[in-house]
Amino acid sequence: MPTSNDMQKVLDIQDKNLIFKDDCVTYGVLKGRKVKYIDCTLSYTPAECEKCHAPNNDYSIYK
């Protein structure tokens, strides 16, 4: 099973605040095409959008 560090290396993700769990890869169909979904968790809850500064109400903002 992949670890968070392995997934970050494979995907070349520089953000250390993303946590990948085991079985984080699932497959599905989007707009008639096969896709791969990679699920991860942000290690903190942002208070607002970094770009537009919109407040994070009911988890409306995610990275």
User: What CA–CA distance (Å, rounded) separates 55 from 10?
Assistant: 32
Q: Where in the chain does DSSP place strands (E)?
A: 18-19, 25-30, 33-38, 41-42
Give pLDDT tens digits for 2-47.
566 777 788 888 878 888 888 888 999 999 999 999 888 878 888 8
pTM reported for the whole predicted model: 0.57
Residue 32, phi-psi category: left (phi > 0), alpha (psi -120 to 50), beta (remainder): left
Sign, CA torsion 12/28/46/48: positive
Among 43, 30, 3, CA closest to 11: 3
